[in-house]
């Protein structure tokens, strides 16, 4: 009986140790999840007030990196759910969008307006993949990269998406710095396929 009692004691000790290890794993997982939420803009921890609203997480990091209040101004509303991510709108014509797969990026001006007219993050373009960059041979245009293509703007050509097979042909010809230059129209139906006009000519595609 004494031996049996020691056996049960060891089993109980092992069970308690196992529960402790499981509890530690659960706590660690919870801490990791909290760190993820805090670091990506889902959570509100470490957010700071900017004007009347808080800016936090990855959106706060992009806000500071891309120019802060001098560039964006103050937020005009709180961080809000997007379709699979978060966004926040700022008073000088920019929004910052975040999702797990794309991180946080600013999208501004007429490129933002064009993207919005297409359905924002639910459009075929999806969330922004990078901050806007200079575009065109003179560098006076702007381009924003998305999983589904690009949006290109200049004062002379307006804002237009380029995607699909036409995007591949355009990029294969050095994109905005190459023979075709900037897009001057959206894609449109053409002879049983698609076409798009550029500064340097038309790109056509058929299935």
Q: What is the pLDDT of residues 54-89, one digit of tens each?
A: 999 999 999 999 999 999 999 999 999 999 999 999
In a domain, 116, yes or no: yes
Pairwise CA distance, residues 12 & 1, whole Å: 16
Shared domain check, 77 and 24: no
Shared domain check, 65 and 26: no
Shared domain check, 33 and 46: no
Owner of token pair 């089993």:
11
pLDDT at 32 over 70: no
Pairwise CA distance, residues 200 & 104, whole Å: 34
Shared domain check, 101 and 31: no
Question: Nearest-CA neighbor of 61 among 108, 99, 104?
Answer: 104
What is the side-by-side strand order in the sheet with 80-82?
80-82, 85-89, 94-99, 103-108
Q: Label residue 2 by pLDDT band (50, 70, 90).
A: very low
Which structural domain, as residue segments, surrounds residue 108? 41-120
pLDDT at 4 over 60: no
Shared domain check, 108 and 46: yes
In a domain, 138, yes or no: yes
pLDDT at 151 over 50: yes
Higher pLDDT, 1 or 170: 170
Residues 141/157, Cβ–Cβ less than 8 Å:
yes
- CB-facing half-sphere around the CA of 122: CA atoms within 13 A: 5
- Percentage of residues of the chain with pLDDT beyond 90: 78
Shared domain check, 146 and 180: yes
Strand pairing of 94-99 and 85-89? antiparallel
pLDDT at 41 over 60: no
Shared domain check, 55 and 18: no
The stretch 164-188 carries a mean pLDDT of 98
In a domain, 125, yes or no: no
Q: What is the pLDDT of residues 8-18, one digit of tens each?
A: 333 343 433 34
In a domain, 176, yes or no: yes
Shared domain check, 67 and 9: no
End-to-end alpha carbon distance in the chain: 83
pTM for the full predicted model: 0.78
Q: What is the pLDDT of residue 46?
A: 75
The stretch 22-49 carries a mean pLDDT of 46
Q: What is the pLDDT of residue 43?
A: 42
Shared domain check, 112 and 45: yes
In a domain, 126, yes or no: no
Shared domain check, 24 and 55: no
Pairwise CA distance, residues 81 & 73, whole Å: 21
Longest dimension (CA), the chain: 94
Q: What is the pLDDT of residues 196-207, one digit of tens each?
A: 999 999 999 999
In a domain, 127, yes or no: no
Shared domain check, 45 and 32: no
**What total number of domains does the chain contain?**
3
Residue that finishes a domain, picked among 95, 120, 145: 120
Residues 146/127, Cβ–Cβ less than 8 Å:
yes
In a domain, 71, yes or no: yes
In a domain, 101, yes or no: yes
Residue that finishes a domain, picked among 120, 140, 164: 120
Supply the DSSP symbol for 1. Answer: -
């Amino acid at each position: 009986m004494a031996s049996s009692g020691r056996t049960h004691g060891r089993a109980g000790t092992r069970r308690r140790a196992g529960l402790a290890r499981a509890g530690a794993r659960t706590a660690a997982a919870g801490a990791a999840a909290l760190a993820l939420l805090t670091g990506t803009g889902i959570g509100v921890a470490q957010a700071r007030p900017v004007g009347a609203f808080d800016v936090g997480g990855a959106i706060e990091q992009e806000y500071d990196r891309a120019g802060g209040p001098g560039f964006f101004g103050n937020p005009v509303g709180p961080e809000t759910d997007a379709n699979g991510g978060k966004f926040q709108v700022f008073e000088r014509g920019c929004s910052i969008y975040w999702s797990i797969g794309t991180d946080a990026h600013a999208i501004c001006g007429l490129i933002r307006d064009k993207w919005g007219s297409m359905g924002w993050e639910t459009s075929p373009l999806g969330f922004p993949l990078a901050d806007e960059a200079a575009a065109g041979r003179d560098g006076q245009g702007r381009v924003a990269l998305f999983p589904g293509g690009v949006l290109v703007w200049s004062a002379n050509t307006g804002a237009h998406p380029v995607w699909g097979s036409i995007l591949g042909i355009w990029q294969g010809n050095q994109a905005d710095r190459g023979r075709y230059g900037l897009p001057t129209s959206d894609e449109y139906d053409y002879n049983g396929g698609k076409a798009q006009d550029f500064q340097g000519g038309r790109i056509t595609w058929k299935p």
